[in-house]
């Protein structure tokens, strides 16, 4: 694992050659620092991959950064969004307003955007708090219910499916559906240059959040999807990676394989941990407390614990699909509990 965060203040717009530029756009108050927005040249106007966080400073950085590499934001033809998260889709609406650009997104994330946009104010927080209570969160759930949330992203004009070509005249930009981090996450393969825009799916120094929402869902397996999506990228061969955070790097396939190994290892350790705790089945919260995170559990705030629990739940769900653990149901209203499956 490479070390060290890079600061936004040290980033500059860059000409990556071949009609591709990167523009760092800050994420205010977030340790991730910045989103790398890419502009791809075409005879019919540039297309952006992602747009950045919806904030005044981020908008100024995007507009001025594009201008610095010779792109007028008003000339943008389209914005293809790798996934619906606010650090990617946040500014897409403002770019569309400035230029008349289309916004494209995978159909599964477009459906989520419709859902989020349709929610009455505050109901998202109620949903999250209720989900945390069902996982055994206790008072951490109350804190989350009081927290603020970013604005919903703009509804896309175009919905993408796996294999679709993005409307980029004179170039070949293909949609590679890579569910896991979100259900509709896509990587974009610039086939004429053998470059892969990896979004949050494959990052050089960190791994993306893989959670399950609500935590006790049994009809999906996001981590299983993510592992399959990593295999998909690993099979693309030696392709240059242009990720949405951190920095560009030469071999997307090698890094995808490394991240897959990291999660397989985490699954193995979680199974061992569950096997070493015979007796009472554990709530998702109790499992999360016992797993290893980048900081001690006691140092994590309620929202971070919520994300850790979602990640624990995703790993438990994959182990359940693999028949390594199973859930037990107690009295109605009690949190769901997991225990190791013994043979």
User: What does the binding site for Zn ion look like in residue numbers (CB under 5 A)?
Assistant: 85, 87, 200
Specify the residue, 201 or 315, whose C-beta has the smaller distance to Zn ion: 201
- Separation CA 151–CA 154 (nearest Å): 9
328, 339 contact by CB (below 8 A): yes
Closest distance to Zn ion from the beta carbon of 310 (Å): 13
In angstroms, rounded to a whole number, what is the distance separating the alpha carbons of residues 42 and 18? 11
Cβ atoms < 10 Å from Cβ of 318:
25
CB 87 to Zn ion: min, Å: 4
- Of 87 and 286, nearer to Zn ion (C-beta) is 87
Q: Shortest distance, CB of residue 194 to Zn ion, whole angstroms? A: 24
- Smallest separation, CB 112 to Zn ion (Å): 12
CB of 209 to Zn ion, least distance (A): 7
* Burial class of residue 309, CB neighbours in 10 A (0-12, 13-18, 19+): buried
Q: How far is the CB of 62 from Zn ion (least distance, A)?
A: 15
Comparison of 46 and 180: residue with beta carbon closer to Zn ion: 180
Nearer to Zn ion, 85 or 337 (CB): 85
Which residue's CB atom is positioned nearest to Zn ion?
85
Nearer to Zn ion by Cβ, of 63 and 85: the residue is 85
Residue with tokens 């791994």: 207
Residue nearer to Zn ion on the CB measure, 53 or 215: 53
């Amino acid at each position: 694992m490479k070390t060290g965060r890079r600061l936004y203040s040290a980033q500059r717009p860059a000409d990556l050659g071949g009609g591709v530029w990167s523009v760092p756009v800050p994420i205010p108050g977030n340790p991730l620092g910045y989103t790398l927005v890419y502009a791809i040249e075409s005879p019919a106007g540039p297309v952006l991959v992602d747009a950045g966080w919806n904030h005044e400073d981020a908008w100024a950085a995007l507009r001025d950064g594009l201008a610095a590499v010779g792109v007028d934001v008003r000339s943008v033809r389209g914005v293809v969004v790798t996934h619906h998260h606010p650090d990617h889709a946040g500014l897409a609406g403002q770019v569309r307003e400035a230029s008349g650009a289309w916004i494209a997104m995978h159909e599964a994330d477009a459906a989520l955007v419709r859902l989020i946009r349709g929610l009455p104010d505050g109901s998202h927080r109620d949903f999250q708090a209720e989900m945390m209570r069902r996982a055994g969160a206790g008072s951490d759930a109350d804190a989350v219910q009081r927290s603020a949330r970013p604005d919903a992203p703009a509804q896309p004009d175009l919905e993408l499916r796996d294999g679709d070509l993005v409307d980029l005249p004179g170039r070949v930009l293909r949609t590679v559906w890579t569910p896991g981090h979100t259900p509709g996450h896509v990587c974009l393969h610039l086939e004429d240059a053998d470059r892969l825009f990896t979004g949050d799916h494959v990052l050089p120094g960190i791994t993306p959040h893989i959670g399950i929402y609500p935590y006790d869902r049994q009809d999906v397996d996001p981590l299983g999807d993510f592992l399959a999506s990593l295999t998909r990228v690993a099979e693309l061969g030696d392709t240059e990676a242009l990720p949405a955070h951190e920095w560009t790097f030469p071999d997307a396939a090698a890094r995808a394989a490394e991240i897959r190994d990291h999660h397989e290892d985490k699954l193995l350790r979680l199974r061992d941990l569950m096997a070493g705790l015979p007796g009472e089945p554990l709530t998702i919260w109790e499992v999360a407390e016992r797993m290893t995170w980048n900081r001690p559990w006691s140092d994590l705030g309620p929202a971070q614990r919520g994300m850790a629990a979602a990640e624990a739940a995703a790993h438990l769900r994959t182990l359940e699909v693999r028949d390594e653990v199973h859930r037990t149901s107690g009295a109605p209203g009690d949190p769901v509990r997991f225990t190791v499956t013994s043979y």
